[in-house]
Chain A
Amino acid sequence: MAQVAVEETQKFLPILRITLGFMFFSAFVRRAINVPAKLDPNSSAYVGGKLITFLPHAWAPIKGMLESILLNPSLLYEFIILFTALEAIFGLFMILGFLTRLSGLVLAGLAWGIGLAAGWLGSTCVDEWQIAAVEGAAAFMFVFTGSRWFSIDYLLAKKSKGIRVGKYNIPLW
């Protein structure tokens, strides 16, 4: 098995990586374990209703999409389940440092996407924008750094530099 040199900077990346992953994974935990009613369309706690609060000042190009989802309950439910599943899977991957680059790309998309819909909300401060911007930039950073220490990717990197497509290595870790 080949030795992999670990740069000094890489050893400090898990400080951010684990917290970042938990921000997304904990959203799944809240909905699926802490308060399962959040995923029950018949409950007043149903998280689908939250999308209504995004509407007034959501970014114009996605406002229409939000409205059509809200007017179609089955589509809304599928959207909520899909979003929650992505947060669970790639949040956990980020915590574990598994496919970190790919996870960073997906999580950046989720964070910035929420920022375009709910980013204007913030009764304490400019809260949702701060969350979306910081989480998005942090996740995006991992697309380029990966996380080659204290991670499953560290083990994967010993075996391969990435998925080979033609003459290129696509580094998912």
Chain B
Amino acid sequence: MNGKVITIIAIIMILFSTGVTLGLYQINFQGLGNLTNYSKTPAYSLVGTRLYENGTLFLQVARTAGPDTYGGFIVLVQLLYPNGTVLYQWTGQQLGILPSSSIKNEFPLHPSKPIKIGNYGVGIEVPLGQNSTVILQLPHPISPGTYIIKVWDADGQSAAYGNKFQIIVKVDS
């Protein structure tokens, strides 16, 4: 191959590999715009959560951010009226002593699970990427209407990256 062809190939490949580098930066971190590193703080999505009139809550919790080497720990689940008043809440003590059968995991590896130390319940560990259904039961039926389900991480946060760890649910009659 002559020198001119080599030069053209080299320029094309420089542009290609640089494009891959910058493309990966943009895809993974929005690095060329609003840089965001989702590995810094745990975050949860509650999309798919359902609440029934008999007081059964199917809390659908997906861990969507935070360090990959360590779990996120949900230490409080709240059922709120639309104005933010607490109707009922499950503390870490209650969550940590749930039977394992109360948690259904989408993926068999790295399951979410209740965490307790002796008889002291800590909360629910949710590994990064896992998507779990936590079945919780209110001690009483609930009136039809609209409610908010909210969870808190062990770091005391209920929001990260501009998203709240909460969802509006509707109880039908």
Contact = CB atoms under 8 A, between A and B. Distances in A.
Contact of B68 (A112, A119, A121): A121
B29 A129 contact: yes
B68 A133 contact: no
A3 to B, nearest CB: 21
B165 to A, nearest CB: 14
Contacts of B37: 122, 126
A119 B38 contact: no
Contacts of A52: 107, 109-110, 127-130
Interface in A3-21: none
B13 A123 contact: no
Interface in B128-149: 128-130
A13 B108 CA distance: 45
A132 B129 contact: no
A19 to B, nearest CB: 18
Most buried by A among B67, B68, B108: B68
B82 to A, nearest CB: 29
A132 B17 contact: no
Contacts of A55: 129
A141 B20 CA distance: 13
Nearest to A141: B17
B128 A133 contact: no
A112 B24 contact: yes
Given A52-B107, A52-B109, A70-B109, A120 B38 contact: yes
A56 B63 contact: yes
B19 to A, nearest CB: 11
B38 A56 contact: yes
B86 interface: no
Contacts of A73: 108
Contact of B67 (A48, A57, A123): A123
B40 interface: yes
Given A137-B17, A140-B13, A123 B108 contact: no
A120 B39 contact: yes
Contact of A129 (B13, B28, B67, B108): B28
A53 B127 contact: yes
A132 to B, nearest CB: 6
A144 B128 CA distance: 39
Most buried by A among B37, B69, B127: B37
Interface of A: 46, 48-50, 52-57, 59, 70-71, 73, 112, 115-116, 119-123, 126, 128-129, 132-133, 136-137, 140-141, 144
Given A119-B28, A129-B24, A133-B21, 19 more contacts: A48-B109, A49-B109, A49-B110, A52-B110, A52-B128, A52-B130, A54-B129, A56-B129, A59-B27, A59-B28, A71-B106, A71-B107, A112-B20, A115-B20, A115-B28, A119-B24, A126-B25, A126-B28, A144-B13
